Amino acid sequence: MAEPDSATHRVAKDKPPVKAPAKRKGPFLDDSDSEDESDPAPRQSFAIPPFGKTVGLPPAEPAFEGEEPKSPEKETSCPPPPLKQDDSLDTAFANMDGYEKMDDFPDDEDLGGEEFRMMRYMEEQSRLEMEVMKAEDDDFYGDALRRTDIANEAKVANCPICDGSLLGLSTDDATKHVNACLDGNPIPLPKPKSAVEPVRQPRREDSESTNAMVDAPELGKRFQRAAVPRAPQANPFDIVEGETAGAMEKKSSAFTQLMSGHAESAAWANAAAADKASRGKAAYERTCPFYKIMPGFNICVDAFRYGAVKGCQAYFLSHFHSDHYIGLTAHWTHGPIYCSKVTGDLCIMQLKVAPKWIVALDFEETVEVPGTGGVMVTMIPANHCPGSSLFLFEKPHGKGANVKKQRYLHCGDFRACPAHVEHPLLKPDVQDAITGKLKQQRIDLCYLDTTYLNPRYSFPPQEDVIRTCADVCAGISPDPNCTTDIWDIMARKGGNGSVSKFFIKPPSPVKEESDTTASGSAKDGTVDFFTNVKEKKPPTCRQRLLVICGTYSIGKERICIAIARALKTKIFASPAKIRICSKLGDPELTSLLTSDPLEAQVHMQMLMEIRAETLQDYLDSYRPHFSRIVGFRPSGWSYRPAPASTGATAASLTSANTAPGTVATTQILHSMAWRSRFTAQSVVPQRGSTREAMCFGVPYSEHSSFRELAMFVMALRIDKVIPTVNVGSEQSRKRMKSWIDRWMAERRRGGLVRALVEGEGQKGEGEREVVLWEGKDSSGGGAWW
């Protein structure tokens, strides 16, 4: 008979080593699918396979104690290979002065804006979805300790000789049984006891209630607690029923206004402290801040990370970006979610929210919100991303001729435009349907997207950036060895040349538009830099330009479409991205998309991953099908004011700490230094760009610029503005409040600003007859948008 120790040794032989997954070379994550998958979104570069093969995310770090990482069978990752700097701009112009125009992107942590904020919320949302999976596991196997014991026992649950179940046996008994089997005298095994209790089916109530609790087997304890309504933060802007904000302000004394100011400051400080203290905590441990709640309306907007909010009968979602839907999971049961059809479809497809909770609204239709005491809502396009919305809430009080309305406007994220300030329900004066006379139309509270309420960010119109990027792509040679192209001309200019200098000015006007140029070239009289497109030799099959456009889960599609039109090509996106785009309601985008990366010269990738050092690796992974690569990082944070030497002194000398009193409002409204434009002269490569791989930061934003916010506030009769972004620090809140107070005071003193659109900032034929806003009396005046 064999010795027990030798038998035990035979049982405990090492298992065959698991073959490590093959690693691929390449810099980008195939797509941001954190809303679709359960893995957190690590902040690193990932491999993409050539020829359109899809890979998954690398094994996720456990989001909580006791979680085991997922199997990496289909996952590959590797850091980008070392970047060769031999031909980079850093080397070519290392000893040259005047190199400050070469763009440097700030670190993500230093942005403090949409890119870093969205990335942080995406990671938090991923952790939340992992907790959903953990909750389901806990319901299946009981408490976490018992589940761990079962998992440990399961590793040696069967005898390797007779395959009998060893579950429930002690280590000694299991060893004796295996040894006996090895000697040919198997010991009978006891009948195994059930290690896992049968799963209870969730109870189904006969009547569906929006506030009904979900049975414990369906939700973990954390989600069960989140379904218990929790009181929100007290609102300092509570308005007396039947009174508008403007009327209350007029009735209040100076002392009352002073005390309300103190209450508002205290509320902001408490909200910021509570938000900081609750980071990393569950929804049931968070308190919904007052600026997410419409006072007196029983409505919350973009407030899904706080669980059920006491008194809230309707939850509104402005758009499908992670910093707004964070907290939404398949286990949402707290109440109906009102949003656009695009946003609702994405919530169902990506977040697995039950369709019964989604209430899709139509744009420009006014409907009543049940359970809110008669609140009416109208959804207005936000000009942000597909499906993004402004919500105008109205609640009537009184009867007959004494009816008054409380009106709240929630902007979500938006890019202010003339259509907003001229909207029939928002514009400051409307015609009375009975008397035919003009009457004032006021907005009591405006919850404003203040992402760029900073005088540094008076970036140009979207149309300028879209047109310029398309034109630049159409004019770049796919041949990296072209002697008259960007790289060589920049070297001869000493590193200070902008992209407009890379192209030859035509000796005479071109009568026919080149087939390779984008439609609608720049109209501002800048250099026509497409002449060399006709002169250059047609590219060979191995000479193709590849353009990488940075996007979010949704958003930035317009710039991708424009470049694809200019290059007459398709747009590549991962299958997950294509699924998302299919829900956006854009037939042109859908027709341009392809899952074959070799068919398209425009590729969509996550914006945060696009850097000069990653583009070369991306190009290498697709050789020999592409010969040159250009990457665009479209974000308002890419904007840099023009240097003072160009004459744009006022805007170039501003900073985040610029006091409102140091800049005249007329200057912000009318000076070309603040009404910035974007042309080919504005495009400058990022540091680290090479002859083959160039990266550009372009100020394409889907948020309102500083000047657009000023015009929006001064064009409408808004009684109170409540900022919703960058409210975490007292310094930031004070800066924003000083600008908002200044604009509202100027509006009261100098009258309303009327948006002028004709000419888009250039002198039109009738401009001499237009009265511009001067702030000298209350009659108001115009300003070119």
**Contact call for residues 265 and 284 (beta carbons, < 8 A):** no
Angle (CA) 152-155-157 rounded to 5° is: 105
Integer CA distances (angstroms), 782 to 207, 552, 774, in order: 57, 36, 9
How many angstroms separate the CA atoms of 313 and 335, rounded?
Answer: 7
- Residue 117 pLDDT exceeds 80: no
Amino acid at position 708, single letter:
E
Amino acid at position 559, single letter:
I
Mean pLDDT of the chain: 74
Beta partners for residue 605, in sequence order: 550
Confidence of residue 189 (pLDDT cuts 50, 70, 90): confident
H, E, C per residue of 101-165: CCECCCCHHHHCCHHHHHHHHHHHHHHHHHHHHHHHHHHHHCCHHHHHHHHHHHCCCECCCCCCE
How many CB atoms are located within 10 Å of the residue 17 CB? 6
Give the burial string for 461-488 (b: 16+ CB within 10 Å, else e).
bbebbbbbbbbbbbbbbbbbebeebbbe
Closest CA to 694 of 541, 502, 487, 465: 487
Residues 6+ away with beta carbon under 8 Å from 265: none
Comparison of pLDDT for 253 and 508, the residue scoring more: 253
**Contact call for residues 282 and 225 (beta carbons, < 8 A):** yes
Label residue 255 exposed, middle or buried (CB < 10 Å: 0-12, 13-18, 19+): exposed
Mean pLDDT of 701-730: 97
How many angstroms separate the CA atoms of 328 and 403, rounded?
Answer: 38
Q: Which domain holds residue 178?
A: 144-182
**Contact call for residues 410 and 394 (beta carbons, < 8 A):** no
**Contact call for residues 195 and 140 (beta carbons, < 8 A):** no
Confidence of residue 329 (pLDDT cuts 50, 70, 90): very high
Q: What is the pLDDT of residues 732-742, one digit of tens each?
A: 999 999 999 99
Q: What is the pLDDT of residues 645-688, one digit of tens each?
A: 444 444 545 777 888 989 999 999 999 989 999 988 888 888 89
- Residue 403 pLDDT exceeds 50: yes
Confidence of residue 697 (pLDDT cuts 50, 70, 90): very high
How many angstroms separate the CA atoms of 751 and 781, rounded?
Answer: 7
How many angstroms separate the CA atoms of 272 and 725, rounded?
Answer: 12
Q: Has residue 175 been placed in a domain? A: yes
Q: How many CA atoms lie within 13 A of 161 on its CB side?
A: 19
How many angstroms separate the CA atoms of 211 and 371, rounded?
Answer: 12
pTM of the model: 0.70
Q: Has residue 153 been placed in a domain? A: yes
**pLDDT value of position 612:** 87
How many angstroms separate the CA atoms of 364 and 297, rounded?
Answer: 20
Q: What is the pLDDT of residues 343-367, one digit of tens each?
A: 999 999 999 999 999 999 999 999 9
Q: What sections of 278-359 are H helices per DSSP?
A: 322-325, 341-351
Residues 6+ away with beta carbon under 8 Å from 176: 4, 187
- Residue 533 pLDDT exceeds 60: no
Q: Has residue 582 been placed in a domain? A: no
Confidence of residue 127 (pLDDT cuts 50, 70, 90): low
Q: Has residue 172 been placed in a domain? A: yes
Q: Has residue 171 been placed in a domain? A: yes
Give the three-class secondary structure for 108. helix
Q: What is the pLDDT of residues 14-24, one digit of tens each?
A: 444 444 444 44
Q: What is the pLDDT of residues 82-106, one digit of tens each?
A: 333 334 434 333 333 333 333 333 3
How many angstroms separate the CA atoms of 63 and 137, rounded?
Answer: 14
- Residue 38 pLDDT exceeds 50: no
Q: Has residue 151 been placed in a domain? A: yes
**Contact call for residues 543 and 496 (beta carbons, < 8 A):** no
**Contact call for residues 353 and 128 (beta carbons, < 8 A):** no
Taking the C-alpha atoms of 243, 245, 251 and 255 in order, what is their torsion angle to the nearest 10 degrees? Answer: 130
- Residue 42 pLDDT exceeds 50: no
Q: What is the DSSP letter of 257?
A: H
H, E, C per residue of 543-554: CCEEEEEEECCC
- Residue 109 pLDDT exceeds 90: no
How many angstroms separate the CA atoms of 11 and 175, rounded?
Answer: 8
**Contact call for residues 63 and 584 (beta carbons, < 8 A):** no
How many angstroms separate the CA atoms of 377 and 394, rounded?
Answer: 6
Q: What is the pLDDT of residues 566-608, one digit of tens each?
A: 999 999 999 999 999 999 999 999 999 999 999 999 999 998 8
How many angstroms separate the CA atoms of 327 and 312, rounded?
Answer: 16
Tokens (6 digits) for 383: 């000009």
Closest CA to 444 of 384, 388, 397, 387: 397
Residues 6+ away with beta carbon under 8 Å from 621: 24, 25, 26, 48, 49, 50
The torsion angles phi and psi of 679, rounded to 5 degrees, stand at -125, -175
Confidence of residue 541 (pLDDT cuts 50, 70, 90): low
Q: Which helix (H) or strand (E) holds 346?
A: helix 341-351
Comparison of pLDDT for 497 and 559, the residue scoring more: 559
Q: Has residue 92 been placed in a domain? A: no
Q: What is the pLDDT of residues 135-183, one digit of tens each?
A: 544 544 444 444 444 344 444 456 766 667 777 777 777 777 777 766 6
Amino acid at position 615, single letter:
L
How many angstroms separate the CA atoms of 239 and 42, rounded?
Answer: 44
Tokens (6 digits) for 347: 């919530």
- Which residue matches tokens 């010795």? 3
Amino acid at position 301, single letter:
V
The pLDDT > 70 percentage for the chain reads 61
Tokens (6 digits) for 511: 């009568």
Confidence of residue 272 (pLDDT cuts 50, 70, 90): very high
Confidence of residue 438 (pLDDT cuts 50, 70, 90): very high
- The alpha carbon of 753 is separated from its chain's Cα centroid by a whole number of angstroms, namely 31
**pLDDT value of position 101:** 37
Q: What is the DSSP letter of 389?
A: E
Amino acid at position 432, single letter:
D
How many angstroms separate the CA atoms of 646 and 616, rounded?
Answer: 34
**Contact call for residues 458 and 650 (beta carbons, < 8 A):** no
- The alpha carbon of 536 is separated from its chain's Cα centroid by a whole number of angstroms, namely 39
- Residue 122 pLDDT exceeds 60: no
Listed range (231-245, 375-389, 412-426, 611-625) with the worst mean pLDDT: 231-245
Q: Domain total for the chain?
A: 1
Q: Cis peptide before 624, with omega less than 30 degrees from 0?
A: yes
Tokens (6 digits) for 540: 């060979």
Comparison of pLDDT for 34 and 633, the residue scoring more: 633
- Residue 610 pLDDT exceeds 80: yes
Q: Has residue 110 been placed in a domain? A: no
**Contact call for residues 557 and 386 (beta carbons, < 8 A):** yes
Mean pLDDT of 472-483: 84
